[in-house]
Amino acid sequence: MIVSIASGKGGTGKTLVATSLVLTLKESLPVTLLDCDVEEPNDHIYMRARPVHSEPVAIPVPFVDESQCIYCGMCHDVCAFNAIAVLGTAVLVFKELCHGCGACTRFCPVGAITEVPHEIGVVEVGDADGVSFVDGVLTIGQPMAPPIIREVKRHTGTKGLTVIDASPGTACPVVEAVRGSDFCVLVTEPTPFGLHDLRLAVETMRELGVPYGTIINRADLGDDRTERYCQAQEIPVLMTIPFDERIARSYSRGVPLVEALPEYREQFFALFRKIQELVK
């Protein structure tokens, strides 16, 4: 089973939920944790992961041999991302815009374009006390997160449970992380911002066709509009986590919730059982 943890906005507690679920279940079944928040991965802090090896991630970008180029502009015309431009007798390639689709190479009428690798980050593979742990790290200044997320997801476990910790929001990185999951847990909070972004996340899950439910974190703050929205939309509320200063203090020290407060383990067991029932 593949369970992704997502949210409409940052700071709702995705990492808290992902690490707590993994640490609760690791004695019961094989568990893999994939940190797909490649712009700001932090699961390793709470999992105390030991890196085993890293793998560079590169995308193919065009290299133009101007001794063969006839400056016809075909490469620019077929590029959907404006990553290549022909200005008179000069060709400019913008690596940061290139998605590595290969269209310019395919359609160049004189074969003047080849592809060369452009490194955009790394995937780190390791172990976290019996949990298979993988995260991706996007190189600073690089805008293309999805290729690294795809490489992280190549390490999806073949047995037991794989938990994917997605980035906040509803943009391309989240879509890439959640796509193909058996279930998605949307972590939210009972605030106007939390509700607004939960609505966006729900629309995204519906477009992707991924079953989903919510966890309301800091549930005793704010108001009840988030819960009423879930009831009206028939979205299962899988779990509520109250605002607790003990959680905040331990989390700020890098101590996972279920280690600081072991009484929460049963609640995360119950969460997994609810997910299993909904997936069936």
Contact 189, 16 (CB under 8 A): no
Confidence bin at 242 (pLDDT 50/70/90): very high
> What distance in Å separates the CA atoms of residue 238 and residue 218, rounded to the nearest whole number?
14
Fold of 2-48+129-279: Rossmann fold (3.40.50)
Comparing CA positions, the residue from 94, 97, 140 lying closest to residue 121 is: 140
Q: Give the mean pLDDT of 205-229.
A: 95
pLDDT of 158 reads: 87
Q: Do domains 2-48+129-279 and 59-119 have the same CATH topology?
A: no
Every domain of the chain and the residues it spans:
2-48+129-279, 59-119
Looking at CATH, the fold of the domain delimited by 59-119 is given as Alpha-Beta Plaits (3.30.70)
pLDDT (tens digit, 9 = 90+) per residue, 62-115? 999 999 999 999 999 999 999 999 999 999 999 999 999 999 999 999 999 999
Partner residues linked to 55 by β-bridges? 123
Please, what's the b/e burial string for 190-209 (b: 16 or more CB within 10 A of its CB; e: otherwise)? Answer: bbeebbebbbebbebbeebe
Element (H, E) at 35: strand 31-35
Are the C-beta atoms of residues 72 and 84 closer than 8 Å to each other? no
How far apart are the two ends of the chain, measured CA to CA in Å?
Answer: 11
Which alpha helices (H) appear in 48-100, and where do they start and end?
74-78
| Mean pLDDT of the region 2-13 | 92
pLDDT at 19: 96
Mean pLDDT of 15-40: 96
What's residue 193's pLDDT?
Answer: 93
What is the pTM (predicted TM-score) of this model? 0.92
CA distance 244 to 110: 66
In which band, very low, low, confident or very high, does the pLDDT at 238 lie, cut at 50, 70 and 90?
A: very high
Structure tokens at 183: 């279930």
